[in-house]
Amino acid sequence: DIQMTQSPSFLSASLGNSITITCHASQNIKGWLAWYQQKSGNAPELLIYKASSLQSGVPSRFSGSGSGTDYILTISNLQPEDIATYYCQHYQSFPLTFGGGTKLELK
């Protein structure tokens, strides 16, 4: 099984700043990576797929990059509505697995 290691687990940032979240796969997932945002009490929502493709309707301040085993989610110009928990997920093969999540809070 492919293990997904996300860091950091918690992140505190100020409005207007940029943040990065990293996701490491235990083997090469060839860019088959998605990022989700989950606001408190709500279902997850897709942000990015294929490592760097922005889902329709997602603000351009969200971006993804990476290849092989290492991937990054970047949020620029942090907004109040970005406060949430973020998860990565590989879809290279079954079983599909998620990272442990990164909880983003306001400083």
Partner 1 sequence: EVQLVESGGGLVQPGRSLKLSCAASGFTFSNYYMAWVRQAPKKGLEWVATISTSGSRTYYPDSVKGRFTISRDNAKSSLYLQMNSLKSEDTATYYCARQNNIGTTYNDYWGQGVMVTVSS
Binding positions for partner 1, rule: CB under 8 A: 32, 34, 36, 38, 42-46, 49, 55, 87, 89, 91-101
Shortest Cβ distance from residue 102 to partner 1 (Å)? 10
Smallest CA-to-CA distance from 24 within 8, 11, 37, 5 is with: 5
Give the whole-angstrom CA distance, residue 90 versus residue 29. Answer: 7
3-state secondary structure of 80: helix
Of 1 and 70, CB closest to partner 1: 1
Of 82 and 86, CB closest to partner 1: 86
Shortest Cβ distance from residue 77 to partner 1 (Å)? 25
Burial of 95 (0-12, 13-18, 19+ CB in 10 A): exposed
Of 14 and 40, CB closest to partner 1: 40
